[in-house]
Structure 1
């Protein structure tokens, strides 16, 4: 599902500090502005309710639980999602979010950048 917004603002939800910094740097190099990183579902939900982002990179397990409520909200609003996690049940995510992209940790920055650029085109 390609991004339908003209802006290139990306929502980044990742609770591992260094992983979040790497993803932020990669996204900014690809021409995105990054909203986040957010380490909790509750914080990201509060922010995402008032923002219109182009796409989102979501870790599945965060400091305060599973990312499901946030992913549900984004998916309902047609925001392209990239799940980026080492703790993921691909079959469950594919069933629940068939248009989402799943990228297992660790992933190469080149691959992640390619995914984002495809979503923004």
Structure 2
């Protein structure tokens, strides 16, 4: 696994994208690249996301909550264990999110996602 402080040769930090809707994943990926980040993924399932994280430790992550019938909580738990900050980009109501302790206090950018707000939030995470 790469050093979490490692930044690529172009100075970009790596952001994991976990989103099962292809068009939204493409939009998030494009916005992150335009914002100066390198994208890990996108992953459309919990298993794919966990595989990506086992190969490379991202600096931060953007997670959708519902992934084709799966909840993203196993990914959130793994990221938390690794000390990787993350935000949600989900249309799920706050009360449903609050039922999952690993998501307590995590910012939800909502859907549709304000991409500028998302980029600003990710830039706020320390490298």
Q: TM > 0.5 between the two?
A: yes
The TM-score with structure 1 as length reference comes to 0.86
Alpha-carbon distance in 2 for matches of 1:101, 1:119: 12
The TM-score with structure 2 as length reference comes to 0.82
- Out of 75, 89, 92, the residue aligned to residue 99 of structure 2 is 92
Larger Cα-atom Rg: 2
Task: Please state how far the C-alpha of 1:76 moved relative to its aligned partner.
Answer: 1.0
Q: RCO higher in 1 or 2 (8 Å CA, sep ≥ 6)?
A: 1
Aligned residue pairs total 117
For 1:63-117, what per-residue CA distance to the aligned partner results, in whole angstroms no more than 9, with x for missing partners? 2511111110001111001111112424235x43345322111121111111111
Alpha-carbon distance in 1 for matches of 2:82, 2:97: 22
The alignment status of 1:110 with 2:91, answered yes or no, reads no
Does the CA contact (< 8 Å) of 2:65 and 2:72 recur in 1?
Answer: yes
Matched residue SS, 1:107: coil
Deviates more, 1:15-24 or 1:82-91: 82-91
Q: RMSD in angstroms over aligned alpha carbons? A: 1.8
Task: Give 1:5's aligned residue.
Answer: 5
Unaligned 5+ runs, structure 1: none
